Amino acid sequence: MGLLVDGIWQDKWYDTSKSDGKFEREAAKLRNWVTKDGSAGPTGEAGFKAQSGRYHLYVSLACPWAHRTLIFRALKGLTEHISVSIVSPDMLSDGWTFDTASGSSGDELYAHAFMHQLYTRNDSNYSGRVTVPVLWDKQQKRIVSNESSEIIRMFNSAFDEITGNRDDYYPKQLQSSIDDINDYVYKNINNGVYRCGFATTQEAYEQAFDSLFAALDKIDAILADSRYLVGESPTEADWRLFTTLIRFDAVYFGHFKCNRQQIEDYPNIANYLRDLYQWPNIADTVDFKHIKRHYYYSHTMINPTQVVPKGPDINYWSKHNRR
Ligand SMILES: N[C@@H](CCC(=O)N[C@@H](CS)C(=O)NCC(=O)O)C(=O)O
């Protein structure tokens, strides 16, 4: 695991020494938007018009942020319009790789060995972490965005005229409720599990742990009265929560020490998780082999033996009680 400094790869773990042992995630730097007509989006430059076959998505099947983009690609009928390369689940001293022997599909566009080569192809002087997902423009041969929350917004609407799929997971009248719940879930749950797992002091870990479970308790209470987080059909807020919930019992409970209880022990969340998992085309985006292998094998400072646990054995296809 590492980062680029002026275009040179350096193998370095996260530095928590300046933040009292707390893990702080670096903000994504490449923030252009694909739009229907190629006009500029909320940030970045114009020039990225929605077109079939023009864009390529680089993902890890293990990564919850990349997983969001695969879910929106599936939900919005974009699989035949946006191609994908999958990195290996093993992220060690070279960062994300395209090693096919350990589970990568290979870099379909450039046959790079490493993900950082894509970042320096985009900008030979790049400084920053080399993260997935990345949305790449095959026409201009550059990165559109490496911010998953924005890539899913693009997928939600920019390609609607091409696909004819007008399902809207961020409808205008619900946007402020979705934004509020997203902020809360991101801070306490999506990033909260990482704040538990990557904390390097007892105090930082316990703070993250307490806010994580307080938030899960609150979500379970919301789901007692409402089928989804914001009303009676799934929105962006549900899919963003889903990618953390589906990894929780298999990885975060043990590996990140999020072990007050499992998601299976939450009466409403456990059923809600199955409801989302069983939604058309979603189960195919979930790969427990990559998920477990990535975390347990790559984070050698947490699990130096790199032994990957066999369990748990949970059936996400079992019947749920959501209406
Ligand atoms: N803000 C980014 C975060 C992406 C992210 O942190 N991805 C992780 C994988 S789960 C990564 O690539 N980490 C590599 C690193 O930090 O060096 C997004 O949501 O797109």
How many Cβ atoms are within 10 Å of 15's Cβ, its own excluded?
Answer: 10
Report CA(319)–ligand 1 centroid distance (Å): 33
- 267 has pLDDT over 90: yes
Residues with CB under 6 A from ligand 1: 1, 28, 63, 65, 129-133, 146-149
Active site residue 296: no
13 Cα: distance to centroid of ligand 1 (angstroms): 13
Tell me what pLDDT residue 15 has.
79
- 63 is a catalytic site residue: yes
Q: Does residue 277 contact residue 314 with C-beta atoms inside 8 Å?
A: no
Q: Can you give the pLDDT at residue 171?
A: 98
Q: What is the pLDDT of residues 190-227, one digit of tens each?
A: 999 999 999 999 999 999 999 999 999 999 999 999 99
Task: List Cα–Cα distances, 225 to 219, 221, 321, 322, in angstroms.
Answer: 10, 7, 13, 11
User: How many angstroms does the Cα of residue 164 sit away from the middle of ligand 1?
Assistant: 31
Closest atom of ligand 1 to 133 CA is 20
Centroid of ligand 1 to alpha carbon of 132 (angstroms): 5
* Short-list 282, 246, 252, 294, CA closest to 73: 282
Nearest to 61, CA basis, from 97, 104, 113: 104
Q: Which pLDDT band, with edges at 50, 70 and 90, does 74 fall under? A: very high
- Does the pLDDT of residue 158 top 90, yes or no? yes
Q: Which two tokens stand for residue 294?
A: 């990535």
* Residues of the chain above pLDDT 70, percent: 100
What is the separation of C-alpha 54 from the centre of its chain, rounded to a whole number of angstroms?
A: 22
CA 42 to chain centre: 21
Residues 221-259: b if buried by 16+ CB within 10 A, e if exposed: eebeeebbbbbeebbbbbbbbbbbbbbbbbbbbbbbbbe
> How far, CA to CA in Å, does 29 sit from each of 108, 128, 231?
24, 8, 33
Nearest to 194 by CA among 238, 150, 144, 131: 131
- Cβ of 203: how many Cβ atoms within 10 Å? 11
- Give the pLDDT of residue 27: 87
Mean pLDDT of 74-81: 98
Length of the chain: 323
Return the beta strands (E) in 12-156 as ranges. 55-59, 82-86, 128-129, 134-137, 142-145
The per-residue pLDDT for 19 is 84
* ipTM value > 0.95: yes
- Say if residue 20's pLDDT is above 90: no
Write down the pTM of the prediction: 0.97
Residue 1, pLDDT score: 80
Query: Which domains are present in the chain?
Result: 2-163 (3.40.30.10), 174-279 (1.20.1050.10)
How far apart (Å, rounded) are the C-alpha atoms in residues 139 and 53? 10
Binding residues: 96, 129-132, 147-148
Per-residue pLDDT averaged across 131-137, rounded? 98
pLDDT of residue 181: 98
Instruction: Indicate which atom in ligand 1 lies nearest the CA of residue 131.
Output: 12
User: Which residue of the set 194, 228, 272, 296 is catalytic?
Assistant: 194
Averaged pLDDT, 272-293: 98
β-bridge pairing 55-59 and 82-86:
parallel
Question: What is the C-alpha R_g of the chain?
Answer: 19
Question: Which position has the token pair 């790789």?
Answer: 97
Distance CA 276, CA 158 (A): 24
Q: How far is Cα 208 from Cα 295, in angstroms, rounded to an integer?
A: 19
Residue 129: which of 260, 49, 25 has the closest Cα? 25
Q: Which of 65, 118, 191 to mutate to test the pocket of ligand 1 (most atoms within 8 A of CB)?
A: 65
Q: Is the dihedral of CA 271, 274, 276, 278 positive or negative?
A: negative
Specify binding-site residues for glutathione. Answer: 96, 129-132, 147-148
Q: What is the pLDDT of residue 110?
A: 98
